Structure 1
């Protein structure tokens, strides 16, 4: 069965693509590094958009908070630029959030790799002791 696409989903997808370009090319703040726009969630009434971003290669929580603050202060400018790029009556208010899912995913992946490695080591130790 085909998935139903709602207007908010289409608007969110268009906003995600445009914001990725705008942040990269239009925001000239030295406190910002490389930013990935992971997802945009737009409310059903199209008034508010949560923009989930990650900072490439940045683990320092204070720098992450500063970057999110810079993006939230630039939200009005970005909203104006979005209005020029996307042809809809009103552009949702932007609220930037740090997306920790990729960081958690990497941590879980590392834990799984460690567990598999330890399991193989124990299996090898057991097979060595059985051969004696």
Structure 2
């Protein structure tokens, strides 16, 4: 059981790195914001599903446009992922918006204001 979780953690990290690379360097969709990062990738142990948590720096429209752009390019992204990572199955990717970085920046600003 423990061995599987270590392997799964390694796969998650590898998928996250590759998704970041593919999104930042390979996709030319103008809807995808330049400041888009893959915060986390969680692949199920059977390698069938992957939840990719995406952070987008920008307003709500930029976030929605980026998600739409990623969803329309999901076939291409999955193919690229299959080429770069040698897995038994290439998972179906679901993109989920993650506002944790933005929330952290906002909290940091509030703390700075309180300290002044």
* Equivalent residue, structure 1, for 2:53: 52
- TM-superposition CA deviations, 1:52-88 (whole Å, max 9, x none): 12223x1x11221111111012111111111111111
Distance 1:77 1:67 in 2: 15
Structure 1 residues 5-20: aligned runs within 5 Å? 5-20=5-20
Which residue number in structure 2 is paired with residue 103 of structure 1?
Answer: 102
User: Alignment partner of 1:6: what SS?
Assistant: helix
Tell me by how many angstroms 1:27 deviates.
0.8
* Cα contact 2:53–2:96 (8 A) shared by 1: yes
Describe the superposition over 1:96-127 as per-residue Cα deviations: whole angstroms up to 9, x where unpaired. 1111001111111111112222xxxxxxxxxx
1:8–1:46 Cα contact (<8 Å) kept: no
Matches within 5 A, 1:1-132: 5-34=5-34, 35-56=36-57, 58=58, 60-117=59-116
Provide the alpha-carbon RMSD of the alignment.
1.6
Question: Any stretches of 5+ residues in structure 1 without a counterpart?
Answer: 118-132
Q: What TM-score do you get using the length of structure 2 for normalisation?
A: 0.87
Deviation at 1:5, TM superposition (A): 4.7
Return the structure number with greater relative CO, CA threshold 8 A, min gap 6.
2
The structure whose Rg is larger is 1
Deviation at 1:33, TM superposition (A): 2.1
TM-score, normalised relative to structure 1: 0.77
**Displacement over 3 Å in runs of 4+:** none
Q: Which runs of 5+ in 2 are unaligned?
A: none
